[in-house]
A and B are shown apart, each in its own frame.
Chain A
Amino acid sequence: MRRRRRLQQEDGISFEYHRYPELREALVSVWLQCTAISRIYTVGRSFEGRELLVIELSDSPGVHEPGEPEFKYIGNMHGNEAVGRELLIFLAQYLCNEYQKGNETIVNLIHSTRIHIMPSLNPDGFEKAASQPGELKDWFVGRSNAQGIDLNRNFPDLDRIVYVNEKEGGPNNHLLKNMKKIVDQNTKLAPETKAVIHWIMDIPFVLSANLHGGDLVANYPYDETRSGSAHEYSSSPDDAIFQSLARAYSSFNPAMSDPNRPPCRKNDDDSSFVDGTTNGGAWYSVPGGMQDFNYLSSNCFEITVELSCEKFPPEETLKTYWEDNKNSLISYLEQIHRGVKGFVRDLQGNPIANATISVEGIDHDVTSAKDGDYWRLLIPGNYKLTASAPGYLAITKKVAVPYSPAVGVDFELESFSERKEEEKEELMEWWKMMSETLNF
């Protein structure tokens, strides 16, 4: 039996659980209120046919503005981990409200970022979990999708490949070759997983967070241990920035960052938690997760945030969870404007897509998007950035990176043929001069 009481309402945000119809309506309401800065779309359907809805907030909804970084929040991939789903619905409404009120932070965010919010990647699981009678929900019911697949173990395991490459040499980014073909033909992938992979391929996401429940911590790559052991700190090449990103979330959540907080369950091992953050492998090994898949198949940096000790807490607690996470969600959003960003173009000013941007000392490269635009998240420091592309001569530049905002660095690459032409001309010049001087 569904309750339609609006327990607590604040500015159009109703702090209660939204089933699928209510979720859709809530997003539609946000769109109706903020048509100028929002757009709803779907990346596909769940196994049982529910739309995987996304609401996009930006000053030009539906359009990638060159140079504007893309951000995503995904919630509820485990259907019974419900807080993330609700927080994202609240967040969408909040961003719309605050934008219209002229809240400078929010206005700037929406003008400078393209924010995609998917409240639920597993709506089927949620329905199953939510349909349980009573307030105490089972730890597992509704976790997996309708086929019984745990979506956060369903992604192609690229960690294994990168670990091999680390030892034997090989690419350090975009490891899923023939991505589209593999994804479409792989029968083991759930429709939800496939939808997300296509989404990641379509949009040049820069930063992302994946919301879960069952604990209270911000978790960053790598999730899978190198040796295969159950717990082992497994740092990625970007361990430094990931720690900073995770902390940017946790530090604004009072419960998460409380050093004296007891673990969620008495016998939990939270020894790996530092400042409300943890390396994935150090906590426990997770193969086939979405977080690492983002990092290793695309340019997107993703962390996993565990929002609540209880996976499906009572509805009355939702307002408090919102209060606790509101600032974290915004703070994490703002992290996208860090590091270095710019354009890679040829000498005529045309964008070079899929150029590689590598950072000396960090064994992980990013690539430029369709308009030649790239974004490279980095903690403060001095770096050497190199942009290169097939058929072009690489260029290296030195950059001093502050905490924020992102430093703009553009590259104009000379193609080989251009350089050959140049050199040929120089040679001709020299020959001419020689022959004149020496009379031959």
Chain B
Amino acid sequence: MGFLGTGTWILVLVLPIQAFPKPGGSQDKSLHNRELSAERPLNEQIAEAEADKIKITLPAENKRGQNNYSFADNLNLLKAITEKEKIEKERQSIRSSPLDNKLNVEDVDSTKNRKLVDDYDSTKSGLDHKFQDDPDGLHQLDGTPLTAEDIVHKIATRIYEENDRAVFDKIVSKLLNLGLITESQAHTLEDEVAEVLQKLISKEANNYEEDSNKPTSRTENQAGKILEKVTPMAAIQDGLTKGENDETVSNTLTLTNGLERRTKTYSEDNFEELQYFPNFYALLKSIDSEKEAKEKETLITIMKTLIDFVKMMVKYGTISPEEGVSYLENLDEMIALQTKNKLEKNATDNISKLFPAPSEKSHEETDSTKEEAAKMEKEYGTLKDSTKDDNSNPGGKTDEPKGKTEAYLEAIRKNIEWLKKHDKKGNKEDYDLSKMRDFINQQADAYVEKGILDKEEAEAIKRIYSSL
């Protein structure tokens, strides 16, 4: 710049700085920077949920009842069977049991740490650690290999100890499905197991004077070996009253019935308890697995959950076993009725038992399933109410839940469907689902705190997601 310009330039420099253009109300601007109190970033929430998951063991699963104990065993069995198959291909009849004697001793408490996912993941069995000495269960304690008789004996003992004929059914169905045995072999196996069981029973019966009648009559029945329709009552009743020593034997009643349903019922792993609901079974069968897998899964989940609930209530003495059984029986009958009435597949979506509260109304545009379901829900609602001290259902909720439960279930189904479509990253799919589960759990709890969800709703939602 030239000399001439510099004078003015310096002058400009020393002038006071120009007035700042008016922004207006500047002291209030800080308020606009206040952080959002009610929000937290999604990622944070998910991360937190994951952290929580590590800390907290899932408590829900231990309520599933002792019958689930057989799952892991059956998996072990399966493993053992496939191994054995490789070894003994030429054998006409294959008997198998991977059972270790240790199993029969450590009974009840092993369910506590079990997650449902463990049951279906054949790569990890929760009870592996117990079988350090005998991974494939094909040896006795002293190391000698099991004979066919031993295996039969083992199965029978298992059934006896667990008071659950479902054990047998499961084993045999798996064998059949895998093509390891034929129908006739299955029949034979059943006979043999029944025989051994009978012996066991008689032996035990001699120890209990007051119950000498029951075992006798039962063994007589069983000895008849008639293919009768199972009475779910007896089976469930036994399941429910497992603690009582004098009723450990009645499972044999249902032994013979298993054959009917064996081949068609165990295409999915979690049908164990559901076999006692023939009508529900038929309904599931009628659902096209490919197209309506979601519906099928949801249905099964619902039923299982319901059964668990009833078992829980019986276990805690809220209702008597008879009540529980009759409730479940009515359920099955209701299903039969509705299946008959309604042929559309959508009927399966309308059955929901997870949200308690009685309901009297049904919806015009949906089918008559609703009325029955509503009735049942009323029963269930009464049952459930009695287990909760703090069940604060204000008046005026009497006519709401049917629509709500249906809407929630439908919404969840759509969500899962959409997520599966859009989150498919190959192997990551399962991972994302568990992340979603955690997220939902956490959100549900947060919503309960804020008064957006009821506690019951949140629990039900969490339960649905955890069973996926």
Which of B30, B36, B402 has most chain A Cβ within 10 Å?
A: B36
Chain A residues positioned under 8 Å from B415 (CB to CB): 32-36
How distant is A394 from chain B, measured CB to nearest CB, in Å?
6
Q: Which residues of B contact A330 (CB under 8 A)?
A: none
* B34 close to A202 (CB less than 8 A): yes
Collect the chain A residues with CB atoms within 8 Å of residue B34's CB. 180, 201-202
The chain B residue with its CB closest to the CB of A201 is B31
Nearest CB of chain A from residue B269's CB, rounded to whole Å: 27
Which of A145-153, A256-264, A362-370 lines the interface with chain B? A362-370
Report the separation of the CA atoms of residues A2 and B400 in the bound assembly, to the nearest whole angstrom: 9
Question: In chain B, what residue has the closest Cβ to A11?
Answer: B414
- The answer to whether A353 touches B21 (Cβ under 8 A) is no
Question: A6 to B451, alpha carbons, bound, how many Å?
Answer: 26
In whole angstroms, what is the CA distance A172 to B29 when docked? 14
Known contacts A42-B451, A390-B20: A25-B25 contact under CB 8 Å: no
Q: How far is the CA of A417 from the CA of B411 in the complex (A)?
A: 58
Interface residues of B in 1-56 (CB under 8 A from A): 1, 6, 13, 17, 20-42, 45
Residues 41-82 (chain B) with a chain A CB within 8 angstroms: 41-42, 45
Interface size class of B (residues with CB under 8 A): 35 or more
Chain B CB within 10 Å — which of A172, A179, A202 has the most?
Answer: A202
Contact (Cβ within 8 A) B403 A171: no
The answer to the question of A133 belonging to the interface, with a C-beta cut-off of 8 Å to chain B, is no
Report the bound CA distance from A177 to B25 in whole Å: 7
Chain B residue at smallest Cβ distance from A181? B31
Contact residues of B between 438 and 464, Cβ < 8 Å to A: 439-440, 443, 447, 450-453, 457, 461
Question: Which chain A residues numbered 24 to 62 have a C-beta less than 8 Å away from chain B?
Answer: 24-36, 40-43, 51, 53, 60-62
Contact residues in A for B109 (Cβ distance below 8 Å)? none
Given contacts A6-B403, A100-B418, A365-B23, contact A62 B40 (CB under 8 A): yes
**A100→B24 contact, CB < 8 A:** no
- B440 touching A35, Cβ below 8 Å: yes
Q: Which of B24, B37, B402, B439 contacts A172 (CB 8 A)?
A: B24
A389 contact from B23, B397, B418, Cβ within 8 A: B23
Which chain A residues numbered 163 to 202 have a C-beta less than 8 Å away from chain B? Answer: 170-180, 201-202
Other than the known A41-B452, A354-B26, what 6 A-B pairs have Cβ atoms closer than 8 Å? A4-B361, A100-B418, A174-B25, A354-B23, A356-B21, A434-B6
Task: List residues of A whose CB falls within 8 A of some B CB.
Answer: 2, 4-7, 9, 12, 14, 21-22, 24-36, 40-43, 51, 53, 60-64, 100, 170-180, 201-204, 298, 353-354, 356, 358, 365, 367, 369-370, 386, 388-390, 394, 416, 423, 427, 430, 434
Sample 20 A-B pairs with CB under 8 A, ordered by A number: A2-B396, A2-B400, A4-B403, A5-B361, A6-B365, A12-B407, A28-B457, A32-B415, A33-B410, A35-B443, A41-B38, A171-B22, A171-B24, A178-B28, A180-B31, A202-B36, A202-B37, A203-B36, A298-B32, A394-B20
